[in-house]
Amino acid sequence: NSFVTRTNTCGELRSAHVGQEVTLYGWIQYQRQGLFLVLRDFQGLTQIMIPQDEAHSHVKKLLANAPVESVVRVTGIVSPRPPGQENPKMPTGDIEVKAETAEILNSCKKLPFEIKDFIKKSEALRMQYRYLDLRSFQLQYNLRLRSQVVMRMREYLCNLHGFVDVETPTLFKRTPGGAKEFLVPSREAGKFYSLPQSPQQFKQLLMVGGLDRYFQVARCYRDEGSRPDRQPEFTQIDIEMSFVDQAGIQRLVEGLLQYSWPEGRGSITTPFPSMAYEEALADYGTDKPDTRFGMKIVDISDFLQRSDIEFVQNALSYPRGAVKAICIPQGARYLKNKDLESLKESARSQFNQEVMEIICRPDGSLKSLLTKFLGEKQQSELIQALNMQVDDVVLLAAGEHKQVCSALGSLRLESADLLEAAGLVLRDPTAFHFLWVVDFPLFLPKEENPTELESAHHPFTAPHPSDTNLLYSDPTKVRSQHYDLVLNGSEVGGGSIRIHSAEQQRFVLEKVLKEDSEVLSHLLEALEFGAPPHGGIALGLDRLISLIVDAPSIRDVIAFPKSFRGRDLMGNAPDYVTPEELEPYHIQVSWPLEEKEAKQN
């Protein structure tokens, strides 16, 4: 209550305050028949008794007629609630304040929706009136918890480990590769700034500058629309260190998360387990496995190699052909036929992959199109290989290794959602399973042209020390010194040891990636002036906090997020500007015909 004219907040009064005169400020949450109202502020709720005597008739009139969500000041005496009227669900439930004087500071007009967490509101409406949505308990909690976590992170990095908090520029130039960047026009004709998708180059240049340990709560920008876990502007905890290896960065991040982890969300144990990229793909079908539940992918290629099943033999004839399966526990009991059909359709539409089901009947026999090709002995071996129990459902896929794994990995998550919707708990909602994924490939074939390579992460990642020679002979086989941090199946961080040799960096850009290195001439030149070995990581703050508070979207942990299409529905941005405003930037807008007509009308 420092610096303000209230004596207390609406969440702090208790029986010990009985008899005291207090002044509270807040919003009217609820008012009942002119008898009492509930006053709310950021910290909680207090019941205010409206006086009924003639001497206070003006106070009664004021408070009884004030609309819900009006802002008021109330001064009164703290009193115990009458016996039997205490509310154990409210921290202030033992007391009430008998109003003596009151003032309406600002009346509230008719609300577009009720300020209550349990009231369903469309997300578009919530974002249009974000300032009202922010009054809800859940968003208040999310933003305050976010603030506390960031503060603890600053303490850990700056006070305990000597990191320097440096703000890097927002206006920069285009970076080759990676996500699309927003362009910002300049007054020099044809020249544009670019908003950085991360402070990657600056943090490396800070290491060349001898800063040794850098950190920043960094704003980053990507022009790629908005998905439930993506925003065009987002925040990352950005870290870089000199003279460090992969293990050093990992231990730092584990310590950082353990130190800043909110009380009341359990404790996290370190060190976090680690898994190679190839193992994650083979067992979970993804590079961000959710390890809170089993249902791992099982390779049954060797077992079925001896069979006469045509589609199996076709699949195994390819260089990286495989037959794999996942076992859905109690699938026959919890999943309907339409669920199984939707899973198979999902594999078809997303991965062009056919999937076949095998069901274990109550008598232990198998129901599947496959059984006619398998003898009894083979069937019991298959049950053993997949550890099938009664009512389990197996989904089997055959084809190219990566495609089969990706399809089954996706079905593993979809079937877990279906099982949980039907009442079987697979993933503990209070559990936090961190995992390091390491040994990624340094380069991947481009989707649009598989004969060309692109960086699996970004072009500044150093090759694995054991694979350096392969960089010059067979770059497709090179592993990187990149590491991702995964939490409950979501990527919450990614980093790498960087290339600190100008010669090696130039080779990667020009010879492997076929990029114009001129765009990065400043960085290449910096690496020639005694650049130390260095590495770092960026943690996605929005995603991390959304997982901690179990929010359905990162939009629920950002004060003013963009919509699904990257729009600000409250301020209606982006918006049109006049030709006169564009003139200094040497830009003219070429309107599509229908938009031109719409503007004229």
Residue 211 lies in a domain: yes
Give the model's pLDDT for residue 429: 86
Give the model's pLDDT for residue 510: 95
Q: Which H/E stretch holds residue 441? A: none
Same domain for 533 and 461:
yes
DSSP letters, 554-587, are: GGGGSSS---TTS-BTTTTBS----HHHHGGGT-
Average pLDDT of the residues of the chain: 94
Same domain for 228 and 266:
yes
Give the model's pLDDT for residue 595: 65
Residue 523 lies in a domain: yes
- pLDDT over threshold 80, residue 593: no
Same domain for 473 and 367:
no
Q: Which domain holds residue 60?
A: 15-106
Strand bridging mode 233-242 / 490-497: unpaired
pTM metric for this prediction: 0.93
Binned at pLDDT 50, 70 and 90, residue 344 comes out as: very high
Same domain for 313 and 258:
no
Same domain for 234 and 269:
yes
Q: Mark which of 422, 454, 472 sits at the end of a domain.
A: 422
Binned at pLDDT 50, 70 and 90, residue 591 comes out as: confident
Give the model's pLDDT for residue 598: 64
Residue 287 lies in a domain: no
How many domains does the structure of the chain reveal? 3
Measured CA to CA, the distance from residue 90 to residue 11 in angstroms comes to 9
Residue 457 lies in a domain: yes
Contact 320, 389 (CB under 8 A): no
Binned at pLDDT 50, 70 and 90, residue 312 comes out as: confident
Same domain for 145 and 268:
yes
Give the model's pLDDT for residue 178: 64
Residue 111 lies in a domain: no
Query: Could you tell me the CA-to-CA distances from 21 to 6, 100, 274, 306, 448 in Å, in that order?
Result: 11, 9, 59, 87, 73
Q: Which of 42, 231, 134 is nearest to 559 (CA)?
A: 134
CATH number at residue 90: 2.40.50.140
Residue-wise pLDDT tens digits, 52-104: 999 999 999 999 999 999 999 999 999 999 999 999 999 999 999 999 999 99
Question: What is the mean predicted confidence (pLDDT) over 220-228?
Answer: 78
Q: Mark which of 394, 422, 450 sits at the end of a domain.
A: 422
Indicate the burial class of 274 (C-beta count within 10 angstroms; 0-12, 13-18, 19 or more).
Answer: middle
Residue 582 lies in a domain: no
Residue 188 lies in a domain: yes
Residue 80 lies in a domain: yes
CATH number at residue 534: 3.30.930.10
Residue-wise pLDDT tens digits, 361-387: 999 899 998 888 888 888 898 999 999
Strand bridging mode 95-106 / 44-49: parallel
